[in-house]
Amino acid sequence: MQCQSNYHGTRGGEEKLTIMIDTGNRIAAKAAIMAKPEVVAAYPITPQTTLVEAIAEYVARGEYKGEFICVESEHSAMCACIGASAAGSRTFTATSSHGLLLMHEMLHWAALARLPVVMCNINRVIGPGWNIWTDENDSISQRDTGWIQFYCSSNQEIFDTVIQSFKLAEHEKIVLPVMINLNAFILSHTSMPAEIPEQRVVDEFLGKHIAHWKSDIDNPTTFGNIIGPAYYYKVRRAMQQSHLRAKKLIPQIAKDWKKSSGYFHGDLLEYYKCEGAEDILLSMGAIGAESKIAINELQNEGQKIGLARVRVLRPFPTEEIIKLGKQANLIVIDRNISVGLEGVLFNEVKAALFGTSDIKATGFIAGLGGKDVTYKDIKSMCRKAIQGTSKAQEWYAMED
């Protein structure tokens, strides 16, 4: 469903835009084609399939002019993106769960080759047992590949983050692939409104794609050759330096997009009612959005509590976490588990706080396998943490 509206934008004057009421997948597809990638590689997997189907519809209507490549597997989809990006093309793909895992080798390849591929991943459970609902173990397991990782909490944020991700990935100080994560069904198949700017707004924001290096017979470049110990560490160090630079660029790009579109989502973290808080909840994705209702009710009950929704897992916002830890006790909800340890966000928060004193952090694991996590559940977890009655990283509401 789509309807037209007028919006008085921050660019000055009346800006025409579309109010698009649709699923997260279809809104992601809209953002992708508005970024005008020269190549989209497509392979279906539930619950991602409707995203690439939507792009196929744009192809059929003549609204997408690039190359839409239907491949035989997710591994091939990433290979196609690697080849296209190495040839100098702006590229996009999407996947989910086992499809992301099948790409694993090529995720490393794309990052180490410094290729600015943009991909949407629909967070879905890893099997067996087979389950098509959401948790974050698929993308969490890829956090060390070198990809920048965003986690969205609304359909509007999905649209805006896809656009900003092309800007970030292709920036001359970054040149790395970007993964935009959204929870299966909670976002991918739920219709919500999103304001879609005019095409010229996106065009002006992104500019023409300029490949900072590419495979070119007129200007030969060594591509994927053997590299010895004396030089290999420099490749890894350069990736690390780009991630550190991304910590500064992500907020700046978010501010630039606000000037263009009017929307801002909180750069590395989204802060909600954190001023004066004695306890701060950290969460990601859809749980982060649901947490706002819990925070409102807890504050109405007299609790001094706020929310910092983590939007970016890689690069990890260490400095921001340290500032929060100095201000308040931290409560972390993970929709994932690093088996043998604990929830990944909780573990990384504790690593960020290492060496600081008098900081309390409490962790919960909730919502694995798509189990619903309501604002009432979130309130209950926060109360347990505040009262000091929770166990060491408690599995909340998980019946034995």
pLDDT in tens, 7-33: 333 434 456 778 999 999 999 999 999
The predicted structure's pLDDT at residue 399:
57
The predicted structure's pLDDT at residue 75:
98
Instruction: Spell out the domain ranges in the chain.
Output: 2-261, 269-395
Residue 360 pLDDT more than 50? yes
| pLDDT (average), residues 106-135 | 97
pTM: 0.94
Query: What confidence tier does 196 reach under pLDDT thresholds 50, 70, 90?
Result: very high
Residue 242 pLDDT more than 90? yes
The predicted structure's pLDDT at residue 68:
98
The predicted structure's pLDDT at residue 15:
62
Judge contact between 74 and 82, C-beta under 8 A: no
| pLDDT (average), residues 143-163 | 98
CATH 3.40.50.920 fits 269-395, yes or no: yes
The CATH superfamily holding the domain 2-261 is: Thiamin diphosphate (ThDP)-binding fold, Pyr/PP domains (3.40.50.970)
| pLDDT (average), residues 75-80 | 98
Closest C-alpha among 210, 189, 260 to residue 17: 260
